[in-house]
Amino acid sequence: MWKEIGVIASVVTALSFIVASIIALISLRVNNRLRRTDLLNALFEKFFYQSKYAEIRKHIDYSSKHEDLMKLLEEALINRKKEELEEKCVDFFNFFEFIAVLWKLKQLQIKEIKFMFEYYIKMLDNNPYTKRYIEENGFENLLDLIKEIKK
């Protein structure tokens, strides 16, 4: 009789361990999703609701349609005559370099980046001045992200 109780206790212990492991894994996945959502929300707010990137977003959005904006980007990024604008562009590029690092560290998935930032990443690649600046000034992670987005 004691032997059967010992077997039953072992089985109950093993089942309890399995159930606890499954619950822990589910909890880990839920927490991971919540953390990713928080990260994406923070990036979204920083990029779209803070004024820090607004001027450069405007330049990137409209430079292909307005020659004067394209000329400003050329002056800042190629001729380096507009230091303040160049610095704002570098901040903008660094934002996406950070996103690229998060992607490489597997903290963000490419589909998440595409949902939120694909347009601007493609615009950086499509603009000859931003593309050249990124290629010539050490934004290797961003270049890798651009390649991945283009696939």
Three-state secondary structure along 42-56? Answer: HHHHHHHHCHHHHHH
pLDDT at 22: 85
The yes-or-no verdict on residue 7 having pLDDT over 80 is no
Please, what sign has the CA dihedral across residues 40, 57, 86, 139?
Answer: positive
Which tens digits make up the pLDDT trace of 95-128?
Answer: 999 999 999 999 999 999 999 999 999 999 999 9
pTM value is: 0.79
Q: What is the end-to-end Cα distance of the chain in Å, rounded? A: 66
Residue ranges covered by each domain of the chain: 1-37, 50-150
Helical H segments across 45-139, by residue range: 54-62, 67-73, 83-104, 110-126, 128-136
